[in-house]
């Protein structure tokens, strides 16, 4: 079976996911420079700390672009997944005041043993999305200034995670994955790496697809021993009640095969094929793409223009066509399942059964500390779908589950909203600090 045997989907669902701000492994190699890496030609290099503690040259990354200019110390690392992808991860180990070493701005309430926090972005964006607001309004720097050891993950295929031990991004094989592989490889790899570096259990923050992959991983018993707690923002485990006009078109537009994108393995929103697809859908009567972010995510209450302009400069990022198809299957089927290859014999080959296995979220341990925050204006993480998710936790330990509902918030407000610091991030910090250290 070829890489393009991706089962059935819809043009509309692919486009619907276009601006979703949703969303490995073995222990990384002791020296990330010991392998030849296939990927983009390196043009600008800085010195970063390798897993062994030695410095090595890497591409100018998120630290140099969005962290160090604000007065924070930042380290770049590379994490190798079990299936060979080389992922970029950044560390902000201390607050700005500590980095300045002399009463600078930023608070600097340092804890004796700083607890690690891993941030996971969604699909079609990368880790820089967490850093678009000013330091006093973005989550990574707020966490660092409150004494946490902050790690920012970057999913395979995004601009700083386009290397592989033996595959090149120009090869279709590089893109032969869906979010199943993020569950199986990327998340475990980053968790293993951070745990190895800190020797502590890890707090986790996921947005959108970053919530789906964490929930799916926990349901299979992954991460449980290394995760201390999880904050899930705009959770999208279920997607069948989206209220956006594009979502409605998507739900009705299944055509059985991806004909326009046939032969295309990389889903690049800035590429010609995807742009043409988007243009054709925006011409459908009743679909207003003038305010595209609102059309897809719902009416965000609290974005400022400067942050949104920064977003447009750096995003969206590529993902795989197969990943978009998998997301579209969740919209259509209303269930949380592994990738459907569209034919019983193909599914039988991959899973030993004719239908893709379900991710059973009721398998998540009842004592896993979970914080869920969702918005009343979110067209992607719809209230009804979040209700379905919460039903999975009806037997969860009462002191281990906290749910926050913000009436006026839509999908992007949780990571770029100017009021998120007071409404969401302060609640996350309080939740993290109240989790007891393991005995």
| 375 strand-pairing partners | 406
Greatest C-alpha distance within the chain? 65
The number of residues making up the chain comes to 439
Cis link prior to 60 (omega < 30° from 0)?
no
- Contact between 363 and 219 under an 8 Å Cβ cutoff? The reply is yes
- Contact between 185 and 85 under an 8 Å Cβ cutoff? The reply is yes
Secondary structure letter of residue 84 according to DSSP: S
Active site (annotated) includes residue 397: no
Active site (annotated) includes residue 234: no
Distance (Å, whole) CA 198 – CA 300: 36
Distance (Å, whole) CA 332 – CA 159: 30
Active site (annotated) includes residue 35: no
**Inter-CA distances, 401 with 115, 222, 311, 367, 435, Å:** 20, 19, 32, 9, 11
Catalytic position from the list 378, 382, 385, 413: 378
Catalytic position from the list 208, 219, 229, 320: 208
Distance of CA 36 to the CA centre of its chain: 27
Catalytic position from the list 180, 381, 411, 413: 411
- Catalytic residue list: 208, 378, 411
């Amino acid at each position: 079976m070829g890489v393009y045997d991706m089962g059935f989907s819809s043009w509309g669902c692919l486009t619907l996911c276009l601006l979703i701000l949703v969303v490995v492994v073995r222990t990384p190699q002791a020296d990330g420079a010991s392998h030849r890496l296939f990927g983009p030609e390196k043009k600008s290099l800085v010195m970063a700390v390798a897993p062994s503690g030695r410095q090595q040259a890497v591409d100018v990354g998120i630290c140099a672009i969005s962290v160090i200019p604000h007065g924070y110390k930042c380290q770049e690392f590379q994490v190798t997944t079990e299936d060979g992808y080389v992922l970029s991860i950044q560390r902000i180990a201390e607050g700005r005041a500590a980095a300045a070493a002399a009463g600078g701005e930023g608070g600097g309430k340092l804890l004796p043993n700083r607890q690690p926090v891993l941030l996971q972005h969604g699909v079609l964006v990368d880790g820089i999305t967490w850093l678009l607001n000013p330091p006093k309004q973005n989550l990574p720097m707020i966490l660092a200034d409150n004494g946490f050891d902050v790690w920012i993950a970057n999913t395979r295929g995004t601009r700083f995670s386009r290397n592989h031990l033996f595959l090149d991004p120009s090869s279709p094989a590089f893109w032969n994955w869906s979010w199943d592989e993020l569950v199986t490889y990327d998340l475990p790899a980053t968790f293993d790496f951070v745990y190895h570096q800190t020797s502590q259990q890890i707090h986790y923050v996921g947005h959108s697809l970053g919530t789906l992959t964490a929930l799916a991983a926990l349901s299979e018993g992954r991460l449980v021993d290394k995760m201390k707690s999880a904050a899930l923002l705009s959770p999208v485990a279920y997607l069948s009640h989206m209220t956006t006009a594009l979502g409605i078109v998507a739900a009705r537009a299944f055509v059985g095969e991806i004909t326009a994108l046939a032969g295309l393995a990389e889903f690049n929103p800035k590429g010609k094929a995807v742009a043409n697809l988007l243009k054709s859908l925006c011409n459908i009567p009743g679909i207003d793409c003038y305010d595209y972010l609102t059309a897809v995510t719902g009416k965000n209450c609290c974005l400022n223009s400067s942050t949104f302009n920064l977003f447009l400069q750096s995003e969206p990022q590529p993902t795989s066509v197969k990943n978009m198809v998998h997301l579209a299957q969740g919209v259509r089927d209303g269930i949380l399942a592994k990738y459907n290859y569209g034919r019983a014999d193909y599914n039988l080959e991959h899973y030993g059964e004719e239908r893709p296995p379900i991710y059973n979220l009721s398998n998540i341990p009842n004592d896993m500390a979970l914080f869920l925050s969702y918005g009343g204006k979110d067209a992607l993480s719809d209230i009804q779908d979040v209700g379905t998710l919460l039903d999975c936790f009806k037997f969860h330990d009462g002191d281990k589950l906290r749910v926050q509902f913000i009436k006026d918030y839509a999908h992007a407000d949780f990571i770029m909203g100017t009021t998120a610091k007071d409404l969401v991030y302060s609640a996350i910090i309080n939740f993290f600090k109240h989790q007891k250290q393991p005995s």
